[in-house]
Amino acid sequence: MLNPVRNALARPLAAALGLTALLIGCAQTSVPAPTPQLFTVENVDSGSDGTRLVFNRIGALASPPAVGVHNRGTLRLHNTGTDTLHLSSLGVDGPWTVTSTPALPTDVTAGASVDVTLTFTAEATLTTPTTLFAGTLTINSDDPGASAFPVTLSGLWQPYPERDPNGQYTEPTLQQIHDAMGWTFALNTASDAAALSGVNNGSNVPINQRGWVHAQGDEVLSAYWQAADAAQPVTVQEVGAWSSSDASTLYRYARGTSTLVKVLTHSATDYQSLFPHADGSTTKFAQASFTPSGAFGFNMDGYEYSDPANNDQAKDRANGCPGPCGQHLRFWPLTAGGQVMPGAYVMGVDYQSMNDDYQDDLFIIRNITPATP
């Protein structure tokens, strides 16, 4: 039999506990969920997300330029929601101008998209060193999840293509290109910087190691590669070229063979530019895909191999390479915003150990992994 006094005391206590539980439950469920973003932004230049646009410009060029540059970039805004999106305005901070866009304000219906093109307009004297400019594009709309969406703008300005009238290199360094692209992998370490001295004119210190087969920073040493996912193709995009005035061709070859298979060739006029165009085109970028069968290596222009043993090492040794030598193609795992992109690598090329700058040709290669030795 229940004690009536204890039962009488228990009822208000239970009620209080129930009220407390109710209040706790309300506190736990009253936090609103994040409002989803209704539009996505695509970088038309690289096919990546549109959080960054990268440009380059050369000061001593006539108009139209005899040397191709990537001074224009395009974003594509996709309305991925179910309602019409009202695009009200665009704000630009830095040396850029919006050169192509629908008249604003404008409405973007569900499933539709609009393009916004910007031009990099930085100006400087021809005695100014190569400079990295930074800015922001702000996309203002009624998107409840991103009413003021920021896009990072980066622009590389150089006074002359390759060299100035005195023969001094004016190209951006690999570190400047790395920073412009928003890459976050380490190109080198403090010990790399101290390893060698007396570098060549125009070299990327401390990237210059005279072809020494020695991992720098986050670099991955692998002479041969294979598809990370054998069911998917390997994709390649050339994201930069700073070399002499000609077209460059990337090849691949199966391990154990000498047969070169063409992957892509960039336009001869885009030899000092980000995102060079494909050979013979002014609209298509230099990019390609292929499906390998087993381990393969890369080759540039028929004489620079990803396998150092296949490369001419005479200049490396003459310039002080301690050995082993011949590392003229280097690979770093692609990271951006601190996030590692699985199976993606940046490949930097230096020709014949001319000045060891490793930005003669730059590629992003996806769906690869070091081949089993």
Is residue 101 packed enough to be buried (19+ CB in 10 Å), middle (13-18) or exposed (0-12)?
Answer: middle
What is the average per-residue pLDDT within 153-160? 96
What is the average per-residue pLDDT within 46-58? 85
CA dihedral 264, 265, 266, 267 (to 10 degrees): -140
| Residue 353 or residue 315, greater confidence | 315
Q: What is the average pLDDT score of the chain?
A: 86
CA 366, CA 345: separation in Å to the nearest integer?
A: 6
259 and 205 Cβ atoms separated by less than 8 Å: no
CA 131, CA 159: separation in Å to the nearest integer?
A: 9
Model confidence band, residue 200 (pLDDT cutoffs 50, 70, 90): very low
pLDDT at 196 over 80: no
55-98 pLDDT, tens digit per residue, is 999 998 866 667 899 999 999 999 999 999 999 999 999 999 99
| Residue 26 or residue 370, greater confidence | 370
Read off the pTM.
0.87
Give the tokens for residue 326: 């011949």
Is residue 19 packed enough to be buried (19+ CB in 10 Å), middle (13-18) or exposed (0-12)?
Answer: exposed
What is the average per-residue pLDDT within 346-352? 91
Among the listed ranges 113-117, 237-241, 335-339, which one has the minimum average pLDDT value? 335-339
Among the listed ranges 94-98, 142-146, 293-297, 364-368, which one has the minimum average pLDDT value? 142-146
CA 233, CA 185: separation in Å to the nearest integer?
A: 24
Give the tokens for residue 251: 């090849």
What is the average per-residue pLDDT within 178-185? 93
Give the tokens for residue 268: 């001869």
What is the average per-residue pLDDT within 96-125? 94
Give the tokens for residue 373: 């030795």
CA 140, CA 134: separation in Å to the nearest integer?
A: 20
pLDDT at 232 over 80: yes
